[in-house]
Structure 1
Amino acid sequence: MKLVNEELFPSEYNQSANSGMAKSKNHTSHNQNRKDHRNGIKKPKKHRFMSMKGVDQKFLRNLRFAKKHNKRHKQQKKESNA
């Protein structure tokens, strides 16, 4: 004895012939916004100087000399203007 006629509801009985399982949920963002705002959304901290860790040594050496000589030229310019 059949409780439901298969001819009236064929999709329920023939769930995709290729896969025997129902489709699963792929993504949801439920509650994520609340979780994000509980401690506040903060801007990333801006550092005054960038870390030179792991930077090429040849470049760092040249950078040091460039900074040193920039200071020297600024001093000469001030003296000549005064």
Structure 2
Amino acid sequence: MRALILLLKSLGFCAEVGELDEMAKSKNHTAHNQSYKAHRNGIKKPLRHRHPSRKCMDAKFLRNQKFAVKGNKRS
């Protein structure tokens, strides 16, 4: 029986219940200290630009907007 246990151990099998030949798994993820770090300098809202980009806007709308602004300047 002892020889069988040694053979199983050498092959990597557990000889008894609760006995492990490999190390415990390491921790995969933790959020410890992240909230503290985030609040050290304060969580700020993203800066909003005064005029948003007109890239990818409808060309017809932009053309009309240009003339509308031009018309408002005269009056």
What TM-score does the superposition give when structure 1 sets the normalisation length? 0.49
Work out which of the residue numbers 67, 70, 74 in structure 2 matches 1:69: 67
User: Which residue type is aligned with residue 36 of structure 2?
Assistant: R
Quote the sequence identity (%): 44
The number of residue pairs the alignment matches comes to 59
1:14 paired to 2:20:
yes
* 1:40 alignment partner in structure 2: 42
Structure 2, unpaired ranges of 5+: 1-14
Determine which structure has greater relative contact order: mean sequence separation of CA pairs < 8 Å that are 6+ residues apart, divided by chain length.
2
What TM-score does the superposition give when structure 2 sets the normalisation length? 0.52
Deviant stretches of 4+, over 6 Å? none
Structure 1, unpaired ranges of 5+: 1-5
For residues 67 and 53 of structure 2, the distance between their equivalents in structure 1, rounded to whole angstroms, comes to 22
